[in-house]
Amino acid sequence: MSVKLAIIYYSSTGSNYELAQWAAEGGKEAGAEVKICKVQELAPQTVIDGNPAWKAHVEATKDIPVATPDDVAEADAIIFSTPTRFGNVSAQMKQFIDTTSGIWFSGKTVNKVVSAMTSAQNVHGGQEATILSLYTSMYHWGAIVVAPGYTDQSAFGAGGNPYGTSVSVDENNKMVGDKQAFQNAVKHQAKRVVSVAERMQ
């Protein structure tokens, strides 16, 4: 039976959406049944309209389904991707996690295999703190956190974050560094998540 992998992301201008797509590729290569979902946007339309890159990304991803707690309950494994906001997850991602109290109370988050990725504008902009803060919620879920660690050489090419792949993005919303290295690290992380989920099955 194939692992059901949900990739749940938030992205304002596209970086975390790209990470999510790479994770989907890795999950599919590992034999998983993959579903990509975005969390609900909370920003006012006037704010989005004032940022051309943000507005363009919202339009480009309008057909991506919005994540619900059922997507978590139905998945064997979940990979989250969120931008860093002051060393924490985005408000949009936090709001989504806060909606999972019902499935948490029913025990439907227990033993889900989870992992996380992030982006920030600066190399030391809070990437590690963001992933670790998200994992704190996962411990409350009773989930099984699967970090990439240094289980593959791809981690070093992508900056060496053992908690989850993280990227830096410049003022033009372009990833700083070797995109192929980032892609390799994300795909390895996804394959590792699927491998552990298979063992859980």
Task: Please report, in tens digits, the pLDDT of each residue of the chain (201 residues total).
Answer: 899 999 999 999 999 999 999 999 999 999 999 999 999 999 999 999 999 999 999 999 999 999 999 999 999 999 999 999 999 999 999 999 999 999 999 999 999 999 999 999 888 888 999 999 999 999 999 999 999 999 999 999 999 999 999 999 998 888 999 999 999 999 999 999 999 999 999
CA atoms within 13 Å, Cβ hemisphere of 117: 35
The length of the chain in residues reads 201
pTM of the model: 0.96
Helix locations, the chain, DSSP H? 15-29, 45-49, 52-60, 69-74, 91-98, 101-105, 127-141, 154-157, 179-200
Structure tokens at 54: 């943000």
pLDDT at 186: 98
Q: What is the pLDDT of residue 71?
A: 98
Going along the chain from its start, the domains and CATH numbers come out as 4-200 (3.40.50.360)
Per-residue pLDDT, 172: 83
Helix 127-141 crosses helix 91-98 at what angle (to 10 degrees)?
A: 10
Q: Is the dihedral of CA 81, 61, 58, 6 positive or negative?
A: negative
